[in-house]
Structure 1
Amino acid sequence: MWALRRASNPLKFRGLSVGTSRGFCAKSEIVSSYVEGKVVNVKSPQPVSQSPRFHHSTNVGSKFYLEKRGFASQAGAENSGSDDDLEDGFSELETPANANESTVNALAGNEDQLISEPELSDDDNDDIGEPSQNALELSDNETDSVVKSLPRKRPTTELFNAIVSAPDVSVQSVLDKWVAEGKDLDRLEISNAMINLRKRRMFGRALQLSEWFEANKPQEFVERDYASRLDLIAKVRGLHKAEVYIDKIPKSFKGEVIYRTLLANCVVDHNVKKAEEVFNKMRDLEFPITPFACNQLLLLYKRLDKKKIADVLLLMEKENVKPSLFTYKILIDTKGQSNDMTGMDQIVETMKAEGIEPDIRTQAIMARHYVSGGLKEKAEAILKEMEGGNLEEHRWACRFMLPLYGALGKADEVSRVWKFCEKSPRLDECMAAIEAWGRLKKIDEAEAVFELMSKTWKKLSSRHYSTLLKVYANHKMLSKGKDLIKRMGDSGCRIGPLTWDALVKLYVEAGEVEKADSILNKAVQQNKIKPMYSSFLIIMERYATKGDIHNAEKMFHRMRQAGYQARIRQFQTLIQAYIIAKAPCYGMRERLKADGIFPNKSLAAQLAQVDAFRRTAVSDLLD
């Protein structure tokens, strides 16, 4: 089916039996990293025409198998633990390279184009730029129809400004007043306001806008409007409320885009069981398996259960779903995270052989992993390729090149690229430059860029402040961080999860973990907004290093209260607190089993250290 077959390398994966006649996954070199270099021997008891199904099980002893009904998989496989940081982030790696096309989709009423996905790589130290919100995949036909139906009229931001400038008034009141004054309120105006609210992550107000639109102009509501509303409900009120809303959607509008929107939010929420249920529901409803749906599962399993990536690839093979550029990006990133540079290069070659050339974001992923893997010459070669010998023609690459040159320690290159951008700076380039100078420990230069940014743009968002705040946190500059937070408050800037995360890290790195804990707790109580996963984890890890079992358990519980499912990394951190405190840990294996987590090698070793009933030579003598 694909040239991926050519990179064949037999693998063995216990408990998985799938067919050899079309055993792409069994033979592909790509799969080897996901099953830890073991051999997969495959024999399928079912015809290729039958579609696999995914089943989530909390039974840690369960195995992968295929049967006539479908596909079942083991829960709780190994997690690398290295990619749990920017939980609230969004993938910028699948955003269309043509920004105008994205704008066209948005203005045509497809507010739900901003369905979010987790970042491909979430290591906080290795981010490529700031995560952005991402578009739903549109087929060529869909995109064409959107372009043709785009109204001639140019949208304004007047409605958006009216909604934002009235913080103490409900959006419904703003809209009712707008209509009473006889102002135009068509789909284009509403769509533009929706896009701007989403860009600023003002999902609560966006939801109120969607609710008003549905209540007052129900005849104009189409499937993508319902999908947009569903996405906002999932973000603001959770997956359960989103599922309840689906039952209210008219059957004629309850198509594939509705369920893939729910699937994407299950992935954002890292809910494996629910994501698999939704995916299987889509199969039951006989929706076609699309690259988008498969990519969602790949994103989920990349974070939580890398062994299942092979299952998704097999499913794509059986259903003849051709991998998209984003599919290859996920696989490249996963190889890079595993420090398998040879495997990463093989995937790139396979992608090229399929006629898909790496875009700038893909090159940035590769360069980042080359840097982390110590292959600096390869990283520099990729960066030169991104630049193409002409920054003027490849201006878009600057935002990726700056932090990468910073990670390489190339101050002269950072300076060269920034001087080019400085003449007519863009916000994303300024943020990238601040990050780059921060990596190089050149705080004055980072501050100078921030000042330029604050003078060029009248009002900065919390995301822009957080970039410099992270630099202060990384260098334990507590007093400067406090001053910046005060400046944020004075400017009227909205402080949200991203700022909390930087603030928490600032205090933790300064050794004031209790203060960081207090700040996070107050933020949750006052704002009722879900903090980022990394905000909890960094505090929990610091408590664990002190052997503070009580507070480590408290953070574990608060993460669960916030809606984060327990993962291996959380348990590893928690058990480490018991190890350092030299205290036995009762019932931990049962807790793991209840959460459907199967211990990997390192976690199993930790469990052995805290097992109150383990037998040793000394205990045998005493008995």
Structure 2
Amino acid sequence: MLLRLPTTATSKAPLFRHRQHGRLSSPFFHSLSFPSGFSSSTRLELVTTSSGPTSVAIICALRSNSRSHVTANYEKRPKASWLAVYKRLSSMPDPENGAASVLDQYEDEGKKLPKFVLIRVIKQLRKFSRYKLALEVYEWLENRRFLITTREIAIKLDLISKVDGISSAENYYLKLSNSLKDGRVYGALLNAYANVSEKEKAEALFDKMREQGLIKYALPCNVMMTLYMKLKEYDKVEEIASEMMEKNVPLDIYSYNIWLSSLGYQGSVEKMEQAFEQMKLDTSINLGWAIFSTMATIYIKAGQLEKAESCLREIERRIQGQRRLPYHFLISLYGSVGKKEEVHRIWNVYKSSFLNIPSMTYRGVISSLVRSGDIEGAENIYDEWLSINSAFDPRVGNILLGWYVSNGFTEKTEVFFNQIIATGGQPNSWTWGILADHHMRARRIPEALSCLKDAVSDTKSKYWRPRPETVSCILQHCEQENDGASKELLFEVLKEAGCLTDAKYMSICSGNELEEDNNSDDEETNEGAESIFNQLLPAA
């Protein structure tokens, strides 16, 4: 049954939170509490026997009476709640003081910080990408001589890779004794390699895990398949999936999703459908909405819109409870199919289902309506967003501004931009980049360069780079008009944006379009980059 607006008003459910399903590394890193009944004085010692592998002995240290008295007093302290600790850490006035200053203050206040509280705090910090703070809490916990499990070692390794880089994570791993390097720790390092696309190191570690019989579950396979997807080595994704089936390693929903995606990216819709039929026979798999979203995307790319719409109807049938994410995909995919009526229908159902609608969702529906050709509808929703949002998000307006520029609506472009400024909106780097393209179309080079300078000066948009087409057009003008001043300003913009050290980007700017199959000649790439670099160098 398709989603329809309710005929009568009903009370709205409170906002909910959903998990980010795309994060394949998360199952490595769930904390474990030490069994109840063991105090911090209890420790595990690894004991090697002549008859077999290392075993674990539980050693209980004897305490003096005075020490027992101190411990008893500590146990009587009130326990701090994890949420209170998390909030105090998150709102530190000076993060440079580190987590230790906050945790020490808790102890000074006479409050107890059990390990399970700190592990819960770390989990929450990681959820919101506060990796440095999470690592500092771990280090504080270790300094208090709490027992650390291999699962927690894996989490620390993951945090080190994110905070200090892959080399530091490797050094931490190498210092661990072999007895502590179990599947979780191997998995954490594998995931760290995959995150930075260290293909050779990831493959070598994956082979080592094979040799030690640690590939018993889907997660390490999913990490490798995700890495190959990122590197566009789709045939290797299929090899991993085949190996899993040969060795009876159960595929999970993520395994199937990645496998189907790889087949779709290779343009093999028929093979994708065969894999889907095999998936339906797997009784351990629940066919949720996400798999149909993947298939719809592939069908749209292949131009098979009827099959795509059939998948979208399956998504609607599978929406359960207060979950926003399926609606976001439906709105986006119906926009890609060009069904503006369906975009409006899903949007109205979404608005009736949730009390609060974030700017991100407005951005998504405006983008979908623009892609489906309903500019008037997109403008109306933008006006609605302006009327109810107190905080201006330039990303919402950038969608319409970009459409006006790319379609030559000069007057609308200027009116719209002036409206942003008049309402107190703060343009971001992408706003200035769009406006630079607007000036380029009218051959107003100084104004275009001024916009690029404003774009690169915005510290909030550190990943912004000017469009290669814009750079190429400005450079062409500078050569034709012998405009050294504009060339020098362009050089400074590219330098500040970090473009000059990116050989691929610079090569595209020089007109050497690179193949997407990663078979481009590095020497040709570097020559193209050096060519445009030399053109940009200011005259001595």
TM-score (norm 1): 0.57
For 2:268, the equivalent position in structure 1 comes to 340
In structure 1, give the amino acid aligned to 2:107.
V
Task: Please name the residue that 2:119 is paired with.
Answer: 191
Aligned to 2:58: none
Selected match of 2:434 from 501, 504, 509: 509
> Does structure 1 residue 280 correspond to structure 2 residue 216?
no
Deviation at 1:258, TM superposition (A): 0.9
* Identical aligned residues as a percent: 21
In structure 1, the residue matched to 2:342 is 413
2:239 aligned with 1:303 = no
Q: Does 1:179 align with 2:107?
A: yes
Indicate yes or no: 2:160 matched with 1:270.
no
Deviations 1:95-134 (A, max 9, x none): xxx989x7xxxxxxxxxxxxxxxxxxxxxxxxxxx88645
Supply the AA of the counterpart residue of 1:341: V
- The 3 A distance-change label for structure 1 pair 374 and 447 is farther
Q: Which moved more, 1:256-265 or 1:285-294?
A: 285-294
1-structure distance, mates of 2:423, 2:214 = 49
Q: Distance in 1 between matches of 2:235 and 2:316?
A: 36
Q: Which amino acid aligns with 1:401?
A: L
Output the CA distance in 2 between the equivalents of 1:253 and 1:484.
Answer: 61
Change (3 A) 1:389 1:539: closer
Query: What's 2:310 paired with?
Result: 381
For residue 348 of structure 1, report the CA deviation from its aligned partner: 1.1
Q: Does 1:369 align with 2:294?
A: no
Asked if 2 retains the 8 angstrom alpha-carbon contact of 1:435 and 1:446, the reply is: no
Cα RMSD (Å) = 4.8
Give the structure 1 partner of residue 128 of structure 2. Answer: 200
**Amino acid across the alignment from 1:328:** Y
Query: 1:136 aligns to what?
Result: 26
Q: Would you say the 8 A contact 1:406–1:437 is kept in 2?
A: no
Does the Cα contact within 8 Å between 2:126 and 2:134 map onto a contact in 1? yes
* SS in structure 2 at match of 1:219: coil
Superposition map of 1:55-134 within 5 A: 133-134=23-24
1:41 corresponds in structure 2 to none
Partner in structure 2 of residue 211 of structure 1: 139
Higher relative contact order (CA 8 A, sep 6+): 1
Structure 1: state its 5+ residue gaps: 1-97, 103-129, 489-501, 582-587, 612-623
**2:134 alignment partner AA:** A
Q: Secondary structure at the match of 1:438?
A: helix
* Residue 483 (structure 2) aligns with: none
Deviation, 1:166, is 1.0
Q: 5+ residue gaps in structure 2?
A: 1-15, 37-78, 371-377, 406-412, 438-447, 477-486, 529-540
CA positional deviation for 1:338: 3.1
In 2, distance between residues paired with 1:222 and 1:206?
Answer: 17
- Could you tell me which residue of structure 2 aligns to residue 158 of structure 1? 84
Q: Give, as a single letter, the amino acid of the residue that structure 2 aligns with 1:347.
A: A
Larger radius of gyration: 2
Does residue 440 of the first structure (1) align with residue 440 of the second (2)?
Answer: no
- Rate the CA distance shift 1:318–1:345 in 2: closer, same or farther, 3 A: closer
- Change in Cα spacing, 1:176 to 1:605, as seen in structure 2 (3 Å) is closer
* Maintained 8 Å contact 1:263/1:278: yes
Q: CA deviation digits over 1:540-590, x for unaligned, max 9?
A: 5653576689969977994797xxxx8xxx64x544444469xxxxxx9xx
- Per-residue deviation, 1:303: 2.1
SS of the equivalent of 1:440 reads: helix
Matches within 5 A, 1:347-358: 347-355=275-283, 356-358=285-287
Does residue 1:431 correspond to 2:360, yes or no? yes
Contact 1:302 1:309 in 2 (8 A): yes
- Give the superposition deviation at 1:215: 1.6
Query: 1:228: Cα distance to partner?
Result: 1.1
- SS of the residue aligned with 2:146? helix
Alpha-carbon offset, residue 347 of structure 1: 1.7
Change (3 A) 1:214 1:181: same
* CA gap 1:361/1:310 in 2 versus in 1, 3 angstroms: closer
Using the size of structure 2 for normalisation, the TM-score is 0.64
Q: Counterpart of 1:221?
A: 148
Shift of 1:387: 1.4
Alignment-mate amino acid for residue 301 of structure 1: Y
TM-aligned CA deviation for residue 249 of structure 1 = 3.3
- Displacement of 1:267 in angstroms is 1.1
Whole-Å separation in 1 of the counterparts to 2:394 and 2:137 = 28
